[in-house]
Amino acid sequence: MKLPIVWVCGKISLAGTSADNFYIGCDYCNRKVYGADGISFECLFCGQKQGTTVKRFIYNASLYDSSACIVVTVFTSDILRLFKFVGMDLDLAMDLEILNTKLHSVIIIAGVKRSKGTDDGLHKNPYSIVLVSEENPSAQSVAAADGNPSDPEAYTVVVPKRKLTFKSLNNIPPLTG
């Protein structure tokens, strides 16, 4: 069963320290592995014979607007987008307070879904962010993502735009020119 995505417009604040929020993972399946960054190996989780260990990031964050606040998990690709939005480089020694101050001036659009229940021991949130953007793909309030709003009038449920699959890409006519 595919979990639905709710598009939320709001602000985000990261929690924790940068040094504690990364792990070494397989470059193919993203599962946590033990070893140093950049080592070639055969992944026991996905079977990739020419896998490479890479640094992956995972943060707990608060996503909020005027209606509510929820705690979400944010992964590597969206962490990098957040840094790009505020014009910062990802640095393990950086101060999250500085980043959060800069993030406070940015309104983001986040695709939020309920987590599947995977637990790496540290990050046990009911929600995760699957995409973060500065563009608006039919955004809703944070209360809508929670599914139990105190004020049902405070939000509107909108179905996100359809995403193309590889199958549907085959049906696109060639460019003529």
Q: What is the pLDDT of residues 13-43, one digit of tens each?
A: 988 765 677 889 998 888 889 888 899 999 9
- Within-domain flag for 29: no
State if pTM tops 0.85: no
Closest CA to 22 of 35, 12, 32, 14: 32
**Total domains, the chain:** 1
Q: 119: domain CATH number?
A: 2.40.50
- Within-domain flag for 95: yes
- Within-domain flag for 174: no
> Domain limits at 124?
6-21+58-168
- Within-domain flag for 36: no
- Within-domain flag for 134: yes
Q: What is the pLDDT of residues 122-173, one digit of tens each?
A: 446 677 777 777 654 455 556 555 554 444 333 333 344 444 343 433 444 4
- Within-domain flag for 10: yes
- Within-domain flag for 38: no
